[in-house]
Copies of this chain bind each other. A is one copy, B any other.
């Protein structure tokens, strides 16, 4: 458990490097009896897959997942589910130029200091390629949460660099390569990304993830609050630099009368809390915003040092996402799903017998 596992009862442990033979994960804790095929998992993998538009890395990976265990006659058995994706389009030679120099803003310096050596091939373990397995594992959690509790988990890109999505049309998201929910912003994003690519630069993005129909009462007190675990989950994604629940940093300037979500038996009157109070779900939509930084790999030269401590310039050629946030939507959904499923199981363990007289308060009307 040295950092490569997530979840206490629904646990994902991953392996693999960007340029090794395969990446994979073991999912432990999925209850038995869930209908599951590779096709179920492939749907989300294909949404994250690189090379689907000119705005993401041109590395071509089929990302075909294989289930190695834990499923028998089309259903989960309750034992560990192993998933594997073979890497097919590695090009280590792309990295020859930078193998002795550190990329500013990249993990290569800190990995070197931690581990004492350099896996210069595309980031090795620190590569965002690892997130494919999060998506694969998350798709199992998504399916179970929906089938068992009706929970629906969806996400979208709410901001790309300076361009903010201003309307939320869930049906629009699959129509454009950005997961943008605002059709009017798709062309501006296309233009922005084309200019950015020409410039050789990169840019940040914000992803919003929403879980609907989460029952009230999921979460834990004190340290393993649902929001704390979600923050852990989201901040663990490559390039994430900020996480907000509900109103997030807008809370700072809010007064209590504005922030609190008043309650009626017909529903909460607002949802500034983002569906979580005291670390426990309220039954409202769980709303999470995650900030992604601009990729450090870019064609514009930067000042750095090499392994000998000499001042040098670095340019990253290779094949990179100029905006990692674009492909982050399915990853955020996956991490939210994994976190919620973990808490669903924790809730069953401890609170299976709890009943209350008061009906659940509906989500915001």
**A43 CB within 8 Å of chain B:** no
Q: Is residue A213 contacting chain B, with contact meaning CB distance below 8 A?
A: no
Of the listed stretches A44-52, A57-65, A173-181, A223-231, chain B binds: A223-231
Taking CB as reference atom, which chain B residue is nearest A1? B11
Contact A261 B105 (CB under 8 A): yes
Residues of B within 8 A of A77 (CB): 17, 115, 117, 119, 124-125
Number of chain A residues whose Cβ lies closer than 8 Å to a Cβ of chain B: 165
Q: Are B253 and A204 in contact (CB under 8 A)?
A: yes
Kindly state whether residue A262 has any CB partner on chain B within 8 Å.
Answer: yes
Say whether A256 faces chain B, with CB atoms less than 8 Å apart. yes
Task: Assess whether B3 is in contact with A5, with CB atoms less than 8 Å apart.
Answer: no
In the complex with contacts A204-B252, A280-B110, A354-B115, A305-B265 CB distance below 8 A: yes
Q: Contact: A16 with B78, CB < 8 Å? A: no
State how many angstroms separate the Cβ of A62 from the closest Cβ of chain B: 18
The answer on a CB contact under 8 Å between A29 and B1 is: yes
Q: Give this chain's copy count.
A: 4
Is the C-beta of A94 less than 8 angstroms from some C-beta in chain B? no
> Which residues of B have CB within 8 Å of A203?
253-256
User: Which among A11, A251, A345 has the greatest number of chain B C-beta atoms within 10 A?
Assistant: A251
Report yes or no: B68 in contact with A105, Cβ–Cβ below 8 A. Answer: no
Please, how many angstroms separate the alpha-carbon atoms of A278 and B18 in the complex?
Answer: 14
- A79 to B358, Cβ gap below 8 A? no
CB distance from A56 to the nearest CB of B (A): 15
Complex alpha-carbon distance, A135 and B120, angstroms: 31
Q: Check: A205 CB closer than 8 A to any chain B CB.
A: yes
Q: Does chain B have a CB within 8 A of A304?
A: yes
Query: What B residues does A124 contact at CB under 8 A?
Result: 72, 77, 79
Q: B125 near A221 (CB under 8 angstroms)? A: yes
Asked if A188 CB lies within 8 Å of chain B CBs, one says: no
| Chain A 78-116: CB-based contact to B (< 8 A → 1; otherwise 0) | 111110100000000000000000111111111111111
Known: A220-B3, A356-B116. A295 touches B28 (CB 8 A): no
Do B293 and A247 touch (CB < 8 A)?
A: yes
Closest approach, in angstroms, between the C-beta of A34 and any C-beta of chain B?
A: 10
Given contacts A110-B216, A221-B125, A305-B265, contact A5 B5 (CB under 8 A): yes
CB nearest neighbor in B for A247 = B241
Q: Give the residue of B232, B251, B309 whose beta carbon is less than 8 angstroms from that of A229.
A: B232
Chain B residue, CB-CB nearest to A148:
B353
With a 10 A CB-CB cut-off, give which of A236, A325, A346 has the most chain B CB atoms.
A236
Kindly provide the distance from the CB of A99 to the nearest chain B CB, expressed in whole angstroms.
12
Of B2, B219, B353, which is within 8 A of A9 by CB?
Answer: B2
CB-based contact A4/B242 at 8 Å:
no
Q: Contact: B116 with A33, CB < 8 Å?
A: yes
Cα distance, A77 to B102, chains bound together (Å): 18
Q: Does A330 interact with chain B (Cβ within 8 Å)?
A: no
Minimum-distance CB pairs A-B, first 4: A107-B278, A3-B220, A105-B260, A202-B256
